[in-house]
Amino acid sequence: MKIVHTIDALRQTLAPFRQPAFVPTMGNLHDGHMALVTQARALGDVTVASIFVNRLQFLPHEDFDTYPRTWQSDCDQLQAAGCQVLFAPDEKALYPEPQTCRIQPDPALADLLEGQFRPGFFVGVSTVVMKLFQCVFGTRPGGVAVFGKKDYQQLMVIRHMVRQFALPIDIVAGETRRAADGLALSSRNGYLSPTERQEAVQLSRALRQLAQAAQAAGADLAAQRPALEAQAVAQLGARGWKPDYLTVRRQTDLQPPQAGDTAVPLVALGAARLGATRLIDNFELP
Ligand code: PAF
């Protein structure tokens, strides 16, 4: 695996290739990331990953400074998964001057759910992803980028950005990888104490239950949804969690299902704090 730290070196390294397949990350990699890299390997003529902890997507009180930097383990895993090029710029290399030019994602998609509880998050994500896309794909007529469904709203925001800017990049979704008990793999699981780790699976259980209840509600879901969500929030709250939201939305636009939306595919999404750790998860309804 070739490791490059500057935009120039990345462009030189990728020059011979026609269709990079790219997995952007913030490092602290786990099997979920490796599944994305494995998926990417089948999609391009060179497999590229990036590691960059993007300050722009953290609020001032969030964990930018303490976000785990696990360089050697990340490199070993990427190498073993068959990644061919790792782009690991430092802040000066990616943001040589203050990144005052930013991508403003569609508020209808980006200002709700995660965007409501982490204002500016998707501006930071969209801006760095656009910049990483420029670095990896340049003016190539095609490329592929793989994003995990665990960050469901992020995947939708990026897809929308790519469509609106007519970027010639296929956005491919990777399924969420879970631990044996059902906890979605996440870099932030490492913050959990052993007791919290045992409890952590309850978020996915609550979402699964909410998804089942939504399915059972059928045509009456629009009417029943507020009560079902309130119940899910209360149940998780009673276990000591601080839920931001547990909600059922349309997969198409993340808006609440309306009466008559019977054929619209749905997704249950949630974010909740367990101790000092904020976890997110989601389940698509079949
Ligand atoms: O999902 C992540 O790890 C980050 O939000 C991303 C897409 C790498 C942008 O910093």
> Is residue 106 located within the same domain as residue 229?
no
Kindly report the CATH number assigned to the domain that includes residue 57: 3.40.50.620
54 lines ligand 1 (CB under 6 A): yes
Q: Is 271 helix (H, G, I), strand (E, B) or coil?
A: strand
* Greatest alpha-carbon span in the chain: 57
State residue 32's pLDDT score. 98
> Is residue 41 located within the same domain as residue 170?
yes
> Is residue 215 located within the same domain as residue 271?
yes
Domain-ending residue, one of 150, 174, 198: 174
Q: How many CA atoms lie within 13 A of 119 on its CB side?
A: 1
Please report whether residue 227 resides in a domain: yes
Print the domain residue range for 221: 187-284
> Is residue 167 located within the same domain as residue 193?
no
Amino acid at the residue 282: N
Please report whether residue 179 resides in a domain: no
Q: Separation of 94 CA from ligand 1 center, angstroms?
A: 14
> Is residue 237 located within the same domain as residue 259?
yes
> Is residue 170 located within the same domain as residue 191?
no
> Is residue 140 located within the same domain as residue 230?
no
Residue 148 Cα: closest atom of ligand 1: 1
Please report whether residue 128 resides in a domain: yes
Alpha-carbon torsion (155, 159, 162, 165), positive or negative:
negative
> Is residue 108 located within the same domain as residue 151?
yes
Residue 54 Cα: closest atom of ligand 1: 10
Please report whether residue 235 resides in a domain: yes
Q: Separation of 102 CA from ligand 1 center, angstroms?
A: 16
Kindly report the CATH number assigned to the domain that includes residue 221: 3.30.1300.10
Tell me the CA distances in angstroms from 153 to 45, 282, 284, one per residue in order: 28, 10, 12
State residue 286's pLDDT score. 78
> Is residue 198 located within the same domain as residue 166?
no
The answer to whether the beta carbons of residues 29 and 73 sit under 8 Å apart is yes
Please report whether residue 182 resides in a domain: no
> Is residue 155 located within the same domain as residue 223?
no
Q: Kindly state the tokens that stand for 37.
A: 């890299």
Q: Strands across the sheet with 85-87, in order? A: 2-4, 85-87, 46-51, 20-25, 143-148, 169-174
CA nearest to 221, candidates 260, 189, 182, 183: 260
Residues 52-109 have pLDDT tens digits of: 999 999 999 999 999 999 999 999 999 999 999 999 999 999 999 999 999 999 999 9
- Which parts of the chain sit beneath pLDDT 50? none
159: number of Cβ within 10 Å? 16
151 lines ligand 1 (CB under 6 A): yes
Task: Tell me which residue has its CA closest to atom 3 in ligand 1.
Answer: 25
129 lines ligand 1 (CB under 6 A): yes
> Is residue 218 located within the same domain as residue 135?
no
128 lines ligand 1 (CB under 6 A): yes
Tell me the CA distances in angstroms from 22 to 86, 127, 135, one per residue in order: 10, 16, 11
Please report whether residue 113 resides in a domain: yes
Positions marked catalytic: 33
Domain-ending residue, one of 141, 174, 207: 174
> Is residue 36 located within the same domain as residue 138?
yes
C-alpha R_g of the chain: 19
> How many separate domains does the chain show?
2
Q: Which helix (H) or strand (E) holds 191?
A: none
Please report whether residue 180 resides in a domain: no
State residue 262's pLDDT score. 83
